[in-house]
Structure 1
Amino acid sequence: MRLIVNIDDFGLTEKVNESVVECFKFGIVQSTTIMMNQPATDYAIALIKQGLVSNVGLHLTLTSGKPILDPQLVPDLVDQNGFFLKQDKVISSDQISINQAYSEFQAQYDKAIKAGITLTHIDSHHFAAVFPQYKKAFIKFANDIGLPVRRIDNEEPSKQGLNVSTTEAFSSRFFAEGATLENIQALILSFNSKFPYGTLELMSHTTLKGDKLLSSLSSYSDKRVDEFHILTSQTLKDCLEKNKIECISFNQI
């Protein structure tokens, strides 16, 4: 079995970025996705250029911060102050333009490419890509770009025309109360018993202790430190090695 542990939110804060570096050094984590509109995006890009973080995908962001495009060009996606609509507003809206969403996807992608990042894959912050209001735009964008993506059928069973590579399975259960060493081992071993030749992606979110900025940007903060310690746990690494589970990134699927 092959395992992709992807750390979301690279670029959110400096401590988040530094936790990604440490996780890559340890070896279980081989994949992350960068947000192009956050306070520590430039620092994340610098870490990539230093060779400290490899295998970076794009974490398309539609529910946090401001768009890369002028908000006047994407009025359906933003509030009166030019910030992206929150998840509940997106889900309840029937006014979101597919073309505006696609244009913002393209702007975030172009910014990453211009920064010199060789992207491995695409996923989305807060699962915005699987919201009905954004899903068609995401599928079209992903097919046009041609990069692998995180599975988009975790809410609805169909891939609905997605023509790019993805993993055999994806789990978001290593999160919140599920962010324990026992749970992540159980998730991995359960998949391994069913699909010994498949690839599983686990979503993760990490930071280091003392991340004072994080709570102002995300409601998920304290457990990120727990996730970091689990993903740099020798016990977990030994479990993976014992069960012949290979840690890879999206450029290997």
Structure 2
Amino acid sequence: MERQSRETRALIFTADDFGLHERVNAAVERAHREGVLNAASLMVAANAAADAVARARRLPGLRVGLHLVLADGASMLPRAQIPALVDAQGRFGDNMVRDGVRFFFLPHVRAQLAKEIRAQFEAFAATGLELDHVNTHKHFHLHPTVLSLIIRIGREYGLRAMRLPLEAGAPLALKPWLHLVRARLARAGIAYNDFVVGIANTGAMDEAVLLDAIANLPAQGVGEIYCHPAEAGVEAITPSMQAYRHTDELDALVSPRVAAALAAARVRHGGFADVFFGGPARPGANALASEVRPS
């Protein structure tokens, strides 16, 4: 099977931070039922993860992936098992440069990181939901050690697709590394989107941004538009999200104008499983991933 982005013009709408708060979960459910949202990325250790899973089970068309948290969030394992990774409250820090250096150079830190990544995959598997995709909070899978561990461990849990955070206008210094990440995913037989929309306007993916993205889609390729929708009242959950316009993003996802623009664009849309594999995972379907080829 040739990688579908060679001949397919497709778009995936994804909501990150599913499980962070019940108001995030409610927004995801509404955006899927009433709007254009195809997929959501689950934080398995977050406070409202159980509520998110319950909602996902009521929404068979919502594709759910794993949003691995290795920075600025709660861990799955207790601090006693990963003391080099989290603070006394069991939370990862937000100094990703420092932690990235430690992941690369310190074997004992790397071993704890592998345990935590496995624990998050295991927690997702325990939900019984099909694994549509994997990505990471703050794109930490761009780190070579993190990416290697996700690929190695994820294969055991049905990993078939990952987000490639390559956006038009990305800094020139970052593009060579993004292309290396793309090559590693291709070699591993893991499907990936060709481009994303959501980095430059993180927290401000309003109707105007979505309409502009749809109007300027490339002639071919698989794109992912990712957002952080929520009902009002979650702005202060984490310091890094205080300026996010969550309700504007929810309004955009349920906007009739956005739905009409998407229909007029005549692009295929759905979750990663729909776009790359024709539907959610089935027994034996993991073998399909080995047939995916780079574009």
- After TM superposition, the score normalised by the length of structure 2 is 0.75
Question: Is 1:90 aligned to residue 99 of structure 2?
Answer: yes
The one-letter amino acid paired with 1:146 is L
Deviations 1:127-146 (A, max 9, x none): 12113452332233344543
- Measured after TM superposition, the shift of residue 178 of structure 1 is 5.1
DSSP 3-state at the match of 2:65: strand
Question: Is 1:77 aligned to residue 85 of structure 2?
Answer: yes
* Match of residue 147, structure 1, among 160, 181, 189: 160
User: What are the ranges of 5 or more consecutive residues in structure 1 without an aligned counterpart?
Assistant: none
Structure-1 separation of matches of 2:39 and 2:203: 23
Comparing 11-20 and 52-61, the one that deviates more:
52-61
Structure-1 separation of matches of 2:24 and 2:74: 19
CA contact (8 A) 1:31 1:249 kept: yes
Go from structure 1 to structure 2 and tell me whether the alpha carbon gap of 1:188 and 1:174 turns closer, same or farther (over 3 Å shift): farther
Percent same amino acid at aligned positions?
21
DSSP 3-state at the match of 1:16: helix
- Measured after TM superposition, the shift of residue 5 of structure 1 is 0.9
Tell me how many residue pairs correspond in the alignment.
Answer: 248
Structure-2 separation of matches of 1:12 and 1:177: 15
CA contact (8 A) 1:185 1:239 kept: yes
Go from structure 1 to structure 2 and tell me whether the alpha carbon gap of 1:68 and 1:176 turns closer, same or farther (over 3 Å shift): closer
Structure-2 separation of matches of 1:52 and 1:179: 25
The residue aligned with 2:222 is 199
Go from structure 1 to structure 2 and tell me whether the alpha carbon gap of 1:143 and 1:170 turns closer, same or farther (over 3 Å shift): farther
The one-letter amino acid paired with 1:45 is V
CA contact (8 A) 1:12 1:40 kept: yes
The residue aligned with 2:282 is none
Structure-2 separation of matches of 1:23 and 1:237: 11
The one-letter amino acid paired with 1:102 is A
Go from structure 1 to structure 2 and tell me whether the alpha carbon gap of 1:80 and 1:122 turns closer, same or farther (over 3 Å shift): same
Go from structure 1 to structure 2 and tell me whether the alpha carbon gap of 1:66 and 1:189 turns closer, same or farther (over 3 Å shift): same
DSSP 3-state at the match of 1:12: coil
Question: Is 1:215 aligned to residue 221 of structure 2?
Answer: no
Map 1:57-206 onto structure 2 (within 5 A): 57-88=65-96, 89-91=98-100, 93=102, 94-95=105-106, 97-144=109-156, 145-151=158-164, 155=174, 156=177, 157-159=179-181, 160-162=183-185, 163=188, 164-173=190-199, 175-176=201-202, 179-192=205-218, 194-195=219-220, 198-206=221-229
- Measured after TM superposition, the shift of residue 31 of structure 1 is 0.5
- Measured after TM superposition, the shift of residue 7 of structure 1 is 0.1
Map 1:4-43 onto structure 2 (within 5 A): 4-43=12-51
CA contact (8 A) 1:240 1:246 kept: no
CA contact (8 A) 2:202 2:227 kept: no
DSSP 3-state at the match of 2:121: helix
Pairwise CA RMSD of aligned residues? 2.4
The residue aligned with 2:6 is none
Deviations 1:28-53 (A, max 9, x none): 11100100111111111111233377
Go from structure 1 to structure 2 and tell me whether the alpha carbon gap of 1:83 and 1:201 turns closer, same or farther (over 3 Å shift): same
CA contact (8 A) 2:207 2:248 kept: no
- After TM superposition, the score normalised by the length of structure 1 is 0.86
